[in-house]
Amino acid sequence: MRNVWILCWKELRSYFVSPIAYLLLAMFAIVFGFFFWNVVGYFVYAGMEAQMRGAMFPLNVNEQVIRPLVSNVSVIGLFLIPMITMRLFAEEKRSGTIELLATSPLRDFEVILGKWLAALILYSAMLLLTAINFAWLFRYGNPDWKPLLVAYLGLLLQAGALLAIGTFISTLTRNQIIAGGATFGICLLLWVLEWVSGYDSATYARVMAYLSVLTHFESFAKGLLSIKDFVYYLSAIFLGLFLTARSMESLRWRS
């Protein structure tokens, strides 16, 4: 376990001594800031309009601000996650440092877990930025904090799953661009699989919809904790990390 932290710390350091972490954080802050401004602006507009019409529009900060916002965060994550994971193993393979790790008394799972955790921590740091925006909601409004917490948990689980897949893809190549591009493609596909259920309800459509990352985030965004979605994300994380371990092992037999 100690080795996991050593590697995690090393990865985090390399994120933060290079511009990668700052670039990601800044980009995320800007994009999320825009979304926040947009959603809150619309919420205020809708509130004023309802007042003017004299309608008793049941305005709810949780439903109308937080829920669309966390859904947006998960979409932004889709774009940023490949950038977080693409270097994890591709860089080690390119620079030859993978030989150092592979010839040190480390177990494969320690290396993989350390790297994945570092990626997850970087993502969490991004999420932490959203807290600044949400703090204003709590300052001027009266939202319920429990659904927000569940939504954060959902975001972390979802990111964990996509990061695990990205980590796996990063072991397949020594080229970061390829790793990033492939991860992005797969993340996108996992996202839109759900669209099939829009016009078809056959078994294949339901299976595809189940595989989609989007469907499982829905309940978290609403503030619901459902075992089914929990299990989905956990098994996706496990599968991603398991494939990474297999891939690292096969690396030795192939290269």
Partner 1 sequence: MESASNSLAPSVGTKRSRRTIGFSRDSVDRLASDERCTAFEISRQVGTSDTVPARPQNYNLMIRVKELTKRYARTTAVDHISFEVQKGQIVGFLGPNGAGKTTTMRMLTCFLPPTSGTATVAGFDVLEAPMDVKRRIGYLPEIPPLYHEMRTAEYLAFVAKIKGLRGLELAKRVNYVLDRCAVADVKDKVLSKLSKGYRQRVGLAQAIVHNPDVLILDEPTAGLDPKQINETRELIRSLAGDHTIILSTHILPEVEQTCQQVIIINKGKLVATDSVNNLQNRSRGAGSVLVEIAGRQEALDSPEVKRRLEKVPGVSRVLFKEKRENRFVFEVDGETDRAIRGDLARVIVESGWDLNELRTAAVSLEEIFLQLTSSNEAKNASAKGTEGDLETVAEQAKR
User: One-letter amino acid identity for 173?
Assistant: T
Pick the closer one to partner 1 by CB: 93 or 216.
93
Pick the closer one to partner 1 by CB: 144 or 249.
249
Pick the closer one to partner 1 by CB: 97 or 124.
97
What is the token pair recorded at 185? 């493609």
User: Distance (Å, rounded) from C-alpha 153 to C-alpha 217?
Assistant: 10
Dihedrals phi, psi of 225, to nearest 5 degrees: -100, 110
Pick the closer one to partner 1 by CB: 17 or 55.
17
User: Distance (Å, rounded) from C-alpha 107 to C-alpha 114?
Assistant: 11
Q: Given the rule CB under 8 A, which of 14-22, 59-67, 71-79, 164-172 is the region that contacts partner 1?
A: 14-22
Pick the closer one to partner 1 by CB: 4 or 209.
4
What is the token pair recorded at 202? 């056959």
What is the token pair recorded at 74? 């998960």
Give least dist CB 22 to partner 1, A.
13
Site for partner 1 in 91-120 (CB under 8 A): 95-106
For partner 1, the binding residue among 6, 48, 75, 131 (CB under 8 A) is 6
Give 74's Cβ-side CA count (13 Å radius). Answer: 29
The answer to whether 23 contacts partner 1 (rule: CB under 8 A) is: no
C-beta of residue 154 within 8 angstroms of C-beta of residue 70 = yes
Q: Given the rule CB under 8 A, which of 3-11, 77-85, 151-159, 168-176 is the region that contacts partner 1?
A: 3-11
Cα angle 13, 79, 81 (rounded to 5 degrees) comes to: 35
Q: Which residues bind partner 1 (CB under 8 A)?
A: 3, 6-7, 10, 13-14, 17-18, 95-106, 252-253, 255
